[in-house]
Structure 1
Amino acid sequence: MATVEALLGGSIARLRAAGSEMPRLDAEVLLAYVLGIDRTGVIAHPESPVGDGAAERFEAAVARREAGEPLAYIREVKEFMALAFASDARALIPRPETERLVELAEDEIARRLLGAPRPAGAPKVRVIDVGTGCGTIAVALAVRLRGRGMLDEVELLATDDAPAALELARENAVGHAVGDRVVIREADLVPAGEPPFDLVLANLPYIATDAIDDLPVAASFEPRHALDGGPDGLAVVRRLVALLPEVLAPGGVALLEIGADQEAGITAVVAELGEGWTCSVELDLAGLPRVARVER
């Protein structure tokens, strides 16, 4: 019967040869996943025996990682804002960069709800997450608002044009006990007939088509349509921006995730809306342009 140490030793060498940037971490995470324990348990007990069944499952997981498949898809989970999201090939894997968008959305809602006394019967803050994918933005935002006692004053709608992604989003909403607080609907961007929104959030595809094949191999396992932003990376974002005059309420704000090289591009797109519209760009934790704030 193999030990933890023996299994890790062989797999680390294989993953390093396959081009993994963090082969030891990958191996430890995968073994912990197979054994159903925390990674610290793997590190602390290298002498522990591993049953044949678990060893076979670990071998299969390592082979998938060798082929470039993302850890999130192998483990079927990805952590985002300290929450565990179900993750598989139905939707893009949540990225840490997107956490900045959720933080800004939470701040904007708090400003509206807590900045001044609200009269009794005041309408709820209407929020839409366009292109929700696995529901990361809408669900994480709902959980954070619930923790601050603000969720009852907010209406949250999440949309996507991929039915499979919406299934995953619903699973995540239910898993985090906000399934009855986030309305999830199939739509091409914004559903027709919806009243205007106070806050429009979107992490839409923003990779230029020609650049997709140059991404790390892990990206090839993700839905291409969730990455492909057209010739300049802003084709889908441009379509949403064009809708803002009709879907954004007076005084409303749109927060749109962009690529680090797209600050000038999104500014030009917003300028096409005409006089009165402004665009500013917030940086992520790495100091790179990440979230465009659009308003009038």
Structure 2
Amino acid sequence: MNTAAAPMPETADALLRASPLPALEARILLTHVLGWRRTELITRGDEPLAGAARAQYRALEARRVAGEPIAQIVGTREFFGLDFEVTPHVLIPRPETELLVETALAALEGIAAPRVLDLGTGTGAIAVAIASARPDARVWALDRSADALAVASRNASKLLDAVRPGGALSLLQSDWYTALDAALSFDAIVSNPPYIRHGDPHLSEGDLRFEPRGALTDEADGLTAIRIIVAGAGQRLAARGQLWIEHGYDQAADVRSLLAASGFENVHSHADLAGIERISGGTWTNDATARGAQGT
């Protein structure tokens, strides 16, 4: 007579204990597979799991062990309180970029129905976050990548329909300003451009290995796109309009110099929660009326 005990059914608790991943990452993947809330990993952690669910979790776990970003595996990333779709065609929204949104919103205070331009929109995270917080704003989001614009369009439709019925973003495929109507001017321009220098070791580390290289680096000194954005902003900004750009940890002084040389005033930088000067910007003081009407 065989008296061997039957194997214990595998539970969520057992999978988490055996995972080689950091606990938070393992919990994110498992809740994604099971469709559970995080609290259910506690309240239902001893429930036996179906074999298909265990197999799916282990497949995702293996992808993460190989280095694939969590956001690409589960297909979403939270940014500014909103859940954005993420694909390999776009940068993964990062918490430090929320500073750019907060600064832009502060710049728009007191302006009725402001106009905002987001250059290199990617997922649309910056533009959608601003549009969500300011339903009266008109927001243009530009990117040269058709694949990125498709992601931004889906995010805008999903996240803005409730607060802006029928009034999502104006999306445009453009290499920086080139395809933008010259009659338009904006109260704020924001951008998180490619700013990593060629040869920076971070490009071959971590999540960056899986993100679109062209959205990360200019394959030069990291300032190519920033120079283009700064040089063209004065023609696009209304009087007293502001330009804000995210940049690398050691580029703040260079960006401030570019802004000052182009005629911006009140040029300064803001540090992120880590104390790193993360964004720089300034105010355009030239009279915008000479550029003609703003258009519709």
Q: Shared fold (TM-score greater than 0.5)?
A: yes
Partner of residue 293, structure 1: 281
**What is the TM-score with the length of structure 1 in the denominator?**
0.86
Question: Deviations along 1:166-207, whole A, 9 cap, x unmatched?
Answer: 000000000012562311110011234332212111111111
- 5 Å-filtered alignment, 1:40-119, equals 40-113=39-112
Amino acid aligned to 2:275: G
Alignment match of 1:180 (pick from 167, 191, 195): 167
Q: Hey, what's the Cα distance between the residues in 2 that align with 1:252 and 1:281?
A: 16
Query: How far did residue 261 of structure 1 move?
Result: 1.2
* Counterparts of 2:152 and 2:224, CA distance in 1: 24
Aligned residues: 270
Q: What's the CA shift for 1:216? A: 2.9
Report Cα offsets for 1:86-132 as digits up to 9, x if no partner.
1111100001011111111111112323xxxxxxxxxx422101100
Q: C-alpha separation between the residues in 2 aligned to 1:106 and 1:159?
A: 19
Cα 1:87/1:214, change in 2 over 3 Å: closer
Of 9, 18, 38, which residue of structure 1 is paired with 2:17? 9
State whether structure 2 residue 156 is matched by structure 1 residue 168.
no
1:269 to 2:252 alignment: no
Matched-pair contact (CA < 8 Å) for 1:131–1:203? yes
Q: Mark the runs of 5 or more structure 1 residues left unpaired by the alignment.
A: 16-22, 114-123
The corresponding residue for 1:159 is 142
Q: In the alignment, which residue of structure 2 is the partner of 1:248?
A: 237
Does structure 2 retain, via aligned residues, the 8 Å contact 1:230–1:236?
no
1:66-102 CA-partner distances (Å, limit 9, x unpaired): 0111111111010011111111111000010111111
* 1:211 has 2:194 as partner: no
Computing the radius of gyration from Cα coordinates, the structure with the larger value is 2
Segment of structure 1 superposing worse, 180-189 or 265-274:
265-274
Q: Decide whether the 8 Å contact of 2:108 with 2:187 is kept in 1.
A: no
Instruction: Summarize the Cα distance change of 1:95–1:64 in structure 2 as closer, same or farther, 3 Å threshold.
Output: same
In structure 2, what residue type is equivalent to 1:174? S
Please report the RMSD computed on the Cα atoms of aligned residues, expressed in angstroms: 1.7
Residues of 2 paired with 1:206 and 1:185: CA distance? 22
Shift of 1:214: 4.9
Return the alpha-carbon distance in structure 1 between the equivalents of residues 103 and 64 of structure 2.
34
What code does the residue aligned with 1:264 have?
A
* Amino acid of the structure 1 residue aligned with 2:12: V
- C-alpha contact 1:212 1:228 (8 A) present in aligned 2: no
- Residue identity in the other structure for 1:196: S
**How far apart are the structure 2 equivalents of 1:93 and 1:197?**
26
Q: Note the residue ranges of structure 2 that are not aligned, 5 or more in a row.
A: 1-8, 285-296
Q: Percent identity?
A: 37
Amino acid at match of 2:16: L
Distance across 2 between alignment mates of 1:133 and 1:174: 15
**Residue identity in the other structure for 1:84:** D
Distance 1:212 1:166 in 2: 28
**Residue 288 of structure 2 corresponds to which residue in structure 1?**
none
Go from structure 1 to structure 2 and tell me whether the alpha carbon gap of 1:189 and 1:212 turns closer, same or farther (over 3 Å shift). farther
Partners of 2:204 and 2:212 in 1: CA distance = 13
* Distance in 2 (alpha carbons) for counterparts of 1:34 and 1:66: 17
Which of 168, 189, 204 matches 2:176? Answer: 189
Query: The residue matched to 1:185 in structure 2 has which SS?
Result: strand
**Which residues of 2 match residues 125-140 of structure 1 at below 5 A?**
125-140=114-129
Equivalent residue, structure 2, for 1:257? 246
The answer (yes or no) to whether the contact 1:80–1:94 under 8 Å persists in 2 is yes
Q: Which moved more, 1:205-214 or 1:57-66?
A: 205-214
Q: Which amino acid aligns with 2:236?
A: V
Of 205-214 and 286-295, deviating more is: 205-214
Shift of 1:6: 1.7
Equivalent position SS for 2:138 = strand
The alignment's TM-score, normalised by the length of structure 2, stands at 0.86
Does the C-alpha gap of structure 1 residues 279 and 141 become closer, same or farther in structure 2, counting only changes over 3 Å? same
